[in-house]
Amino acid sequence: MIILFLLPISVIAQTQTTGRITGTVKDPNGALVVAAKITLTNKATGEERTNATDAAGIFAFAFLTPGTYRMLVQAEGFNAYTAELITVTLTETTRVSVSLTVQGVVTDQVTVDAGASRVKTDNATLGQVIDGRTATELPLASRNFTQLLGLGPGTNTYLTDNTVVGRGTQNVSVNGARPSQNNFQINGVDANAGISNLQTLASPALESIAEFKLQTSLYDATYGRTGGGSVQVITKSGSNKFNGTVYDYFRTSALTANNPFLKAAGLPRPVLERNVFGFAFGGPIKQDRAFFFGSYQGTSDRNGASLSNSLSVNVLIDPRLTDNRSSAALHAAFGIHATIPINEPALRLLNARLPNGQFVIPTPQVGGLYFGSAISLFRDQQFNANFDLRVNQHNWLNVKFFFSDAPQSLGLLGGSNVPGFPVEQQNAHRILSIQDIHTLGPNVTNEARIAYNIIGGRNFPGQPVLDSALGIQRSTALEFPGLPLINIASGATGIAFGTGTSQDAQHAARTTSLADTVSISHGDHAWRFGGELRFYKFDLTANILTRGLINFTGIDNFLTGPTNFSVLGNGVTERNLRTTDYNFFVQDNWRLSPKLTLNLGLRYELDLPPYDTQGRISTFDPSLYSPPLNSLDPPRGGIVQAGNPIPLYDLPYVPNVGKRVLKSNDPNNLAPRIGFAYSPFKSDRFVIRGGYGLYYSRLSFQYLVGNTFTAPFYLTTFTAG
């Protein structure tokens, strides 16, 4: 067993995967009952906890696995009281009020159905919990839980694209914040990618999800890392009964309407074949002691209907271009004087063909516009393996592992808007969580977690045509063979073909976290305090603009040679970024009266900017800049580099600064949280909430990646005309 509760740190509740039950016990006259014995039993696993009411007649159970519970209340002189169907949901507190009867007056035992209240009366947080069963029964375009996040209060998102390639992870803006300011945890693990918090999120199968919740505002000090939405997802665990499901969802082209633009151009409906299949199974290894749950899901997608990755719609080429692309035909069609030669590389490009025989620059169909479909492919193999063990009466251990490999081939990506230049992508997710919940006393519980998350990806751009064979000269052609991204009349939705500016890249984002939290219930107070350490490793190779970009204002310029501008990049493309987050909090939910609860918290976050292990970071400091002595001399000064370079990259003419290339880091990141929930009526169906909070967002590494690919380690040349 791993004993984590002795660690001198504590978990912030952004990794929280549990719920809580609290309540009061009263006699028939409404007087509080002291020292009543409370026995709480998880109906799925048989886990049993005991507690007793304090001097105020209050009891509480913290860090409960979401599910359904039975509660037995026993007190001397009163009938036993059994409450069935008490529902515990993710991150929520379920409140139960018990009214005992005098022994022998009514019966030996009172049994009630104590389902959870639909309105939460103990905190100011706005959010929504969706259980796995609800999610599986809803008609989602690609069976992705993120497509339900737009149902939360204060959220805004785009309409789900049912022709999307792959899982279709959906970005959502919460209360006007950027989607990159959202925070995601899966089984308590930081599931965000270091490069960006968008689109790279792991997406477990709906049949493997127990619950997920989006908190949109006024979440308390146990939650951090974000100023937008906070999303927690937990996968299922086994129980004392064997349960399983087998499923297969499919979609075929026959069930899909044709794209209206393709239909208007007289083209047939594009291919759209999707199959999502799998199984989930769980049960006991040993009754009331050890449990397992496993799931597998496979996805196969053959897609020519995606507007962003497969379809070419309204691409302007030129109505004068036909299949006859001889020099004489082009002179005649475009009215070019016989003394002006057609640019030789342009002539070769116009006659170049793809492996399937089609022209690289396709012939337009109607009005000089081109419409077409490029097939995109997607496959996903994922599984969950969950193990839960009741070590003893005071310890509950669970281990959860998620695995996914999702390669895909995208027909259109990163600039090209006509078929012929697909991009092969490899995407991988691994998430491991080891959690220990330890009951230290009737009102003191500890949760500890070790977690690891890795998100990996790699792009391989297709290179059906080599610019070296067409007469286009490029200094990087040997190391990066292929074709530049060529734009013709980009301002008028003109054709773009070739290799995108950042398609040749790979990354691996690894996050390791150590966390612990303590919950203490005392009278009207429910205390939580804790913290988390997160260690980030982000390794990146980004060949940005290494094949170049050539822009033409129109096809006439393309034929005769003059460009609008061209760009080419090259340099040191590898970065190994590292950083650590230090987060701590204290939170008190203080029940001033049965109608009013105060949420008082304070959080501290130190989320340091990343640094490169070899010092390959540079930037421009205007205070060090000196203008050139004359117009022929280069500018003097201004460029600085990180202060930790290895000898190979320690440039003697560039000043060294801090390894994070920042003049200062603000350590005063205190975030107070104050909230209240007031329920003025006896029915608890009406609640007034309010509060104030200060929230910090962990910046993704995206901003740094853009700034590091600059001189002197990376050079982008721009040529006009």
User: pLDDT digits over 21-51, tens only?
Assistant: 888 899 888 888 998 999 999 988 888 898 9
Report how far residue 122's alpha carbon sits from residue 526's, in angstroms, rounded to the nearest whole number.
11
pLDDT, position 409: 93
**Most distant CA pair in the chain: distance in Å?**
114
Tokens of 504: 């040749």
pLDDT, position 2: 32
* Torsion, Cα of 73, 76, 78, 80 (10° steps): 30
Higher pLDDT, 10 or 441: 441
Report how far residue 585's alpha carbon sits from residue 706's, in angstroms, rounded to the nearest whole number.
33
Report which of 478, 494, 489 is spatially closest to residue 546, judged by C-alpha positions: 478
Report which of 165, 96, 138 is spatially closest to residue 309, judged by C-alpha positions: 165
In angstroms, the Cα distances linking 94 to 89, 121, 221, 423, 687 are 8, 9, 19, 50, 15
Tokens of 119: 């309105």
489 pLDDT above the threshold of 50? yes
Higher pLDDT, 683 or 512: 512
132 pLDDT above the threshold of 90? no
Residue entry with tokens 């199984």: 279
pLDDT, position 264: 84
Tokens of 581: 């987050």
pTM higher than the cut 0.85: yes
Across residues 611-625, what is the average pLDDT? 89
pLDDT, mean over the chain: 87
Tokens of 403: 């695995």
Report how far residue 131's alpha carbon sits from residue 373's, in angstroms, rounded to the nearest whole number.
38
